């Protein structure tokens, strides 16, 4: 049996490694690349204590060590996270190895093959470190309370304190574990047990964390430097719930978190626990009288903490809805869930409850985008439903376990398929071949993510040979004497949050004087040597300009004056409240001097204040008496970083002169099709000819 269990463990460890080999898609190009830079800087003896990421020492130190041992590479970047993921798998194995093969296999499958757990198992992110810290902390508490070996409360309390410190150093989100600790302490003190252990833990925790902050003070001169760095590096975003309407916060804690778990297929383990508690009397399982109830209580208290707990000390602001922030839920819930599944396999226990719970979750999933409904919940429902009709013979049990692992692997398989289409290694080879291995010095103009990846591929060297600029940073004054290379990549552009329409004019309209160096239509990669850069403000002739601040009537603007408001304003004293349509700019094109131009560029800029997610569009249309025959609509929501705040929206549309019909006019406005409450201010229109 012991040898069989080892083979099971090896199988799931190899699954983690295999996913890295076949499903690796590289880096997101923001935080992960920044961690890589901090690790490289650490090896160079450079430390920036004003950067709050610098204090996430576990990921930086392990990555720096990996670079020192294996050299700078993608593999070296992935090794620390792979080791952390494997450590989590080993802890789950240690907890389940004596529970029987069905429990062990299903527990490891629920952990390893959870879509986002295995996805982040090779990513340069600290969230798995937090998951390890929380799981290890629970493991230590569990072993102290329920292990048959002789217990040393002082040793376990010290180990627990260091485990929590490890998580805190990795990322402050380990704070979500505090309610679990408080719950355990309260229950044990009320039931008059393990009090000495908890007293030791509190004292050891105070000493360990005090020592940590004293060390920070000795290094930086301020024991609270980490918190100061966090405040100074904070910025307004969609997760700043305390700075948005209360309705946004209420939706977040009422249902959006749970919908996210269903959508991201992270609710799987809870399906089985809910089915169990529906049938059993749940209150007794929160007295933590045995190992099973310990893990059930841990899973549900951690779930509630993840939804309701604030991560801010100054205001109520729950965690942002990104699945990677909640990876710690996966192994914790998998442990008790595996026991429920094993009971179903052997005796069909809780079968009806499990099937009904899966149906309920699937009903929610069918209304959500993504592959979860077809590739996860429906296969689970089919598997458990069919097994309900069969006898739990040994052969059927074996087949069920194999199929359960296969069903859990479906979502990771879709990600592997996606990775094969992304072809990250080929993308990297193209960049290295045509940019890094080029003999010429150059300025590379590209999107944010490709710029960050370029610095990463170049090992963050600042030798003056190659410089990477994003589109906003580049203008003809910053290119100096070096050759200018335009590197366009559809994949990294999407990661940057850009559509094709968001590209600057010179990237959307490549001059014939520019030399195509390389093109891959499948990967949507194009590389040009830019001999001529068409920048509207330099190459275009301004034909007209208008700005409406809504402080007074402006020619060529039509609006309902009753919508003018002083309730909100970006500048001045007034703005305009949106109905279905905003104030509209209209201009007759025949009145423009178009004799010497072949194209028109319509550049729009407006400040918007919306109070919730919106489908509103910034519209530019060319119309005649028969209606609009040229129409562009730009989604506004992607520009909004936090609701109830002002955000700039910019749009640039190019219209060919030959496409413009006689007696036409141009029209620019916001279309608020859902008639949401919103305000608009400082609406600018520039029409230029080229």
pLDDT at 498: 92
- CB-count burial class (<10 Å; 0-12, 13-18, 19+) for 313: exposed
Give Cα 187 distance to the centre of its chain: 36
- In angstroms, the CA 261 to CA 257 distance is 6
Residues of the chain with pLDDT under 70: 1, 150, 281-283, 476-480, 536-539
Q: What is the 3-state secondary structure (H, E, C) of 396-427?
A: HHHHHHHHHHHHHCHHHHHHHHHHHHHCHHHH
Number of residues written out for the chain: 690
- CB-count burial class (<10 Å; 0-12, 13-18, 19+) for 211: exposed
What pLDDT digit, counting tens, does each position of 164-213 carry? 999 999 999 999 999 999 999 999 999 999 999 999 999 999 999 999 99
The CB density around residue 476, as the number of other CB atoms within 10 Å, is: 12
Expressed in angstroms, the distance from the first to the final Cα of the chain is 78
pLDDT at 631: 96
Give ∠ CA 52-54-59 in degrees, rounded to 5: 120
Its pTM stands at 0.94
Instruction: Return the H-helix or E-strand segment holding 34.
Output: helix 31-43
Torsion of CA 150, 153, 156, 158, to 10 degrees: -150
User: Which residues share a beta bridge with 586?
Assistant: 667
pLDDT at 282: 66
Q: What share of the chain is helix, strand, coil (3-state, %, to 5)?
A: 55, 15, 30
| Residue linked to tokens 């509190």 | 202
Q: Which tokens in the block code for residue 117?
A: 């757990």
- CB-count burial class (<10 Å; 0-12, 13-18, 19+) for 108: buried
Q: What is the 3-state secondary structure (H, E, C) of 321-387?
A: CCHHHHCCHHHHHHHHHHHHHHHHHHHCCCHHHHHHHHHHHHHHHHCCCCCHHHHHHHHHHHHHHHH
Q: Which tokens in the block code for residue 655?
A: 């219209």
- In angstroms, the CA 523 to CA 491 distance is 7
pLDDT at 107: 98
Q: Which tokens in the block code for residue 522?
A: 């499948």
What is the tally of helices (H) and strands (E) in the chain? 26, 16
> Coil, helix or strand for 670?
strand
What pLDDT digit, counting tens, does each position of 66-118 carry? 999 999 999 999 999 999 999 999 999 999 999 999 999 999 999 999 999 99
pLDDT at 511: 87
Instruction: Return the H-helix or E-strand segment holding 164.
Output: helix 153-170
| Residue linked to tokens 């406005």 | 669
pLDDT at 539: 65
Residue 339 region by backbone torsions, left for phi larger than 0, else alpha for psi between -120 and 50, else beta: alpha
pLDDT at 283: 64
- In angstroms, the CA 41 to CA 456 distance is 12
> Coil, helix or strand for 26?
coil
- DSSP state at residue 497: T
User: Which residues share a beta bridge with 484?
Assistant: 443
């Amino acid at each position: 049996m012991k040898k069989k269990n080892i083979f099971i463990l090896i199988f799931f460890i190899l699954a983690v490694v295999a996913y890295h080999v076949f499903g690796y898609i590289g880096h997101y190009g923001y935080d992960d690349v920044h961690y890589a830079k901090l690790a490289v800087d650490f090896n160079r003896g450079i430390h920036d204590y004003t950067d709050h990421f610098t204090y996430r020492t576990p990921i930086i130190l392990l990555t720096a060590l990996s670079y020192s041992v294996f050299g700078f590479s993608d593999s070296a970047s992935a090794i620390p996270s792979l080791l952390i993921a494997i450590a989590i798998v080993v802890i789950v194995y240690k907890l389940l190895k004596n529970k029987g093969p069905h429990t062990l296999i299903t527990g490891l499958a629920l952990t390893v093959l959870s879509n986002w757990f295995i996805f982040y198992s090779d990513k340069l992110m600290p969230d798995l470190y937090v998951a390890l810290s929380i799981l290890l902390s629970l493991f230590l508490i569990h072993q102290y309370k329920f292990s048959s070996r002789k217990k040393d409360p002082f040793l376990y309390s010290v180990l627990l304190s260091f485990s929590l410190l490890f998580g805190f150093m990795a990322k402050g989100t380990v704070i979500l574990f505090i309610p679990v600790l408080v719950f355990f302490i309260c229950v044990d003190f009320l039931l008059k047990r393990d009090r000495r252990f908890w007293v030791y833990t509190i004292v050891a925790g105070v000493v360990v964390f005090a020592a940590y902050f004293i060390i920070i003070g000795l290094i930086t001169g301020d024991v609270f430097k980490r918190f100061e760095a966090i405040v100074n590096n904070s910025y307004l975003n969609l997760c700043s719930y305390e700075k948005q309407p209360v309705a946004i916060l209420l939706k977040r804690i009422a249902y959006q978190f749970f919908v996210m778990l269903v959508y991201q297929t992270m609710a799987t383990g809870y399906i089985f626990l809910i089915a169990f508690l529906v049938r059993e009397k749940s209150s007794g399982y929160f007295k933590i009288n045995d190992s099973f109830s310990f893990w059930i209580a841990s899973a549900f208290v951690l779930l509630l903490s993840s939804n309701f707990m604030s991560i801010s000390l100054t205001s109520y602001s729950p965690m942002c809805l990104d699945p990677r922030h909640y990876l710690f839920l996966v192994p914790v819930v998998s442990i008790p869930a595996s026991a429920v599944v094993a009971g179903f396999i052997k005796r069909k226990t809780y079968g009806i409850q499990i099937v009904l719970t899966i149906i309920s979750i699937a009903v929610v999933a069918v209304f959500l985008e993504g592959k979860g409904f077809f590739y996860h919940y429906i296969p689970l429902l089919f598997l458990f439903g069919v097994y309900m009709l069969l006898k739990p013979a040994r052969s059927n049990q074996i087949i069920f376990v194999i199929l359960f692992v296969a069903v859990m692997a479906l979502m990771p398989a879709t990600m592997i398929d996606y990775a094969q289409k992304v072809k990250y290694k080929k993308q990297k080879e193209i960049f290295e071949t045509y940019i890094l291995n080029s003999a010429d010095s150059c300025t590379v103009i590209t999107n944010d993510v490709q710029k960050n990846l370029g610095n990463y591929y170049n090992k963050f060297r600042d030798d003056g040979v190659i410089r990477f600029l994003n589109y906003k940073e580049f203008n003809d004054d910053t290119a100096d004497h070096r050759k200018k290379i335009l590197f366009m990549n559809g994949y990294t552009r999407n990661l940057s949050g850009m559509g094709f329409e968001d590209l600057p004019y010179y990237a959307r309209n490549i001059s014939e004087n520019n030399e195509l160096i390389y093109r891959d239509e499948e990967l949507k990669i194009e590389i040009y040597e830019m001999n001529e850069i068409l920048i509207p403000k330099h190459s275009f002739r301004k034909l007209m300009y208008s700005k409406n601040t809504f402080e007074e009537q402006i020619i060529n603007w039509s609006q309902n004056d009753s919508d003018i408001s002083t309730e909100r304003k970006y500048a001045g004293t007034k703005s305009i409240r949106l109905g279905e349509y905003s104030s509209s700019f209209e201009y007759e094109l025949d009145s423009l001097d178009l004799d010497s131009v072949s194209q028109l560029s319509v550049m729009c800029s407006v400040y918007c204040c919306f109070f919730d997610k919106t489908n509103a569009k910034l519209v530019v249309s060319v119309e005649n008496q028969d209606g609009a025959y040229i129409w562009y609509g730009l989604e506004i929501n992607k520009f909004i970083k936090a609701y109830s705040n002002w955000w700039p929206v910019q749009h640039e549309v190019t219209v060919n002169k030959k496409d413009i019909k006689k007696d036409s006019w141009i029209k620019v406005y916001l279309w608020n099709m859902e008639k949401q409450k919103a305000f608009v201010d400082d609406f600018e229109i520039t029409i230029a000819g080229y």
